[in-house]
Amino acid sequence: MTSATFRVPTDVPLRQDAGIIALVGLAHAGSHFGHLLLPLMFPVFMKEFSLSYSELGLLMTTFFVISGLGQTLAGFLVDRIGARPLLFAAMGIFMLACLAASMVTGYTGLLLAAALAGMGNATFHPVDFTIMNQRVSAPRMGYAFSAHGLTGYLGWTAAPLFFATFSGLYNWRTAYLAAVLMYLCILLLLIAQRDKLSTRPVVRHPDQAAQHSLDFMKLPVVWWCFSFFFLSTMTMAVVQSFSLSILRAMHGVSLEAATLTLSAYMLCGALGMLVGGFVAAHNNNSDRIVALSMGAGALLLALCGTGLLGGTLTMVVLASTGFAIGIGGPSRDMMIRKATPQGAMGRVYGMVYSGLDSGLAVSPLLFGLFMDHGWYGATLLGAALTLALSVPAAIGVGRRTPR
């Protein structure tokens, strides 16, 4: 098996690298925007279609299960046909998901929209990281990963504003149609700049057996990477799904203040990603940076779970947790890059990052039981524990990666 990477010179002009990073970042923002296509309208769906919280939760489980399974398959396809066709297809599928959501008349239609959105989301990590690893020069790779994470957070931030604006001016169905046009504009821009997004498929020698494409799954480092993503993402799912309810139940915080805290968490995460890009670019010990970052985040989250800080300080510390975790984001991606065998970029990223979707699918079901029993502090402590467990997983990746 030969390498699937372009030999990018180290003296590539900044403008060339910046253009590639910007296009990939825009696509990644669209992916994170898609995470919130349905959750933002949950109150509307409950009212119009008489749905329960369990039924709404199943929509997101459907999204992330399909995304996780599809992500593994997408990794193989990226290595076989290149990243660009799958990127274009993902944008088209997101358009179909938004169109389906605009026409739903009941729960079956919402399940279809969730499934389509999950399919669209499935391709992004193997696609994005294959493009960046092949097309961005090595000295700027840390900044590329930082920008990639930052744009993801911006996609999360933009979605509530987008849907609130169009729903307020028109109605929720029109908001979904506006989202169709948004994804169309992104797709047209990517097509216009398609030369910057081309990648080289993996070339196999004729004497290589087909089963060799699965050999990477025998490597322990791949499963350590998967475990890290699974554990660390469970924590993020708790904060996104339950932090508003926890703050209100434990400290009597108003809905507005709780919502601002969640927004502050996202913005602090984005700032952490920005700082983390400089850290990743100037430090080769990616696994140690990740371990320190996740360990600090776990400690801060555990302090929130004790209930001893009071409402105001809890909100401040919870937002700071986003910054601590965000710093480790670019180093996390560098860690995975170093652990990836030659010629298996798409497959490894597809498998490893499916751990992210798995964590997002499992966490709401597990910690939802805690919430149903009124164990609000225990929910935060449980999230802190899963984040703490990701620390030895990161160290395990580092120990199994050649320096």
Considering only 37-46, 194-203, 206-215, 321-330, which range has the smallest mean pLDDT? Answer: 206-215
pLDDT(207) > 60: no
Considering only 72-81, 206-215, 319-328, which range has the smallest mean pLDDT? Answer: 206-215
Q: Are 222 and 216 in contact (CB under 8 A)?
A: yes
**341 vs 3: CA distance, rounded Å:** 9
What average pLDDT score do residues 234-243 get? 81
What average pLDDT score do residues 237-255 get? 82
What average pLDDT score do residues 248-265 get? 82
**274 vs 148: CA distance, rounded Å:** 10
Picking from 199, 213, 202, 147, the residue whose alpha carbon sits closest to that of residue 351 is: 213
pLDDT(379) > 60: yes
CATH classification code of 12-196: 1.20.1250.20
Rg (CA), the chain: 21
Picking from 121, 376, 136, the residue whose alpha carbon sits closest to that of residue 241 is: 376
What average pLDDT score do residues 348-361 get? 76
pLDDT(211) > 60: no
What average pLDDT score do residues 50-64 get? 81
pLDDT(363) > 80: yes
**What local confidence, expressed as pLDDT, does residue 204 receive?**
55
**324 vs 314: CA distance, rounded Å:** 15
**220-403: CATH class:** mainly alpha
**What local confidence, expressed as pLDDT, does residue 345 receive?**
60
What average pLDDT score do residues 375-393 get? 92
pLDDT above 90: percentage of residues in the chain? 28
What average pLDDT score do residues 362-371 get? 81
**265 vs 268: CA distance, rounded Å:** 5
Handedness of CA 349, 351, 355, 360 (dihedral sign): positive
Q: Are 257 and 263 in contact (CB under 8 A)?
A: no
Higher pLDDT, 150 or 301: 301
Give the residue range(s) of CATH 1.20.1250.20 domains in the chain.
12-196, 220-403
**What local confidence, expressed as pLDDT, does residue 164 receive?**
80
**What local confidence, expressed as pLDDT, does residue 25 receive?**
92
pLDDT(362) > 80: yes
Q: Report the mean per-residue pLDDT for the chain.
A: 83
What average pLDDT score do residues 321-331 get? 87
**What local confidence, expressed as pLDDT, does residue 161 receive?**
79
Picking from 9, 320, 259, the residue whose alpha carbon sits closest to that of residue 138 is: 9
**219 vs 31: CA distance, rounded Å:** 29
**321 vs 252: CA distance, rounded Å:** 21
Higher pLDDT, 110 or 139: 110
What average pLDDT score do residues 85-104 get? 95
Considering only 1-10, 151-160, 248-257, which range has the smallest mean pLDDT? Answer: 1-10
**What local confidence, expressed as pLDDT, does residue 75 receive?**
76
User: SS3 sequence, the chain?
Assistant: CCCCCCCCCCCCCHHHHHHHHHHHHHHHHHHHHHHCCCHHHHHHHHHHHCCCHHHHHHHHHHHHHHHHHHHHHHHHHHHHHCCHHHHHHHHHHHHHHHHHHHCCCCHHHHHHHHHHHHHHHCCHHHHHHHHHHHHCCHHHHHHHHHHHHHHHHHHHHHHHHHHHHHHHHCCHHHHHHHHHHHHHHHHHHHHHCHHHHCCCCCCCCCCCCHHHHHHHHHCHHHHHHHHHHHHHHHHHHHHHHHHHHHHHHHHCCCHHHHHHHHHHHHHHHHHHHHHHHHHHHCCCCHHHHHHHHHHHHHHHHHHHHHCCCHHHHHHHHHHHHHHHHHHHHHHHHHHHHHHCCCCCHHHHHHHHHHHHHHHHHHHHHHHHHHHHCCCHHHHHHHHHHHHHHHHHHHHHHHHCCCC
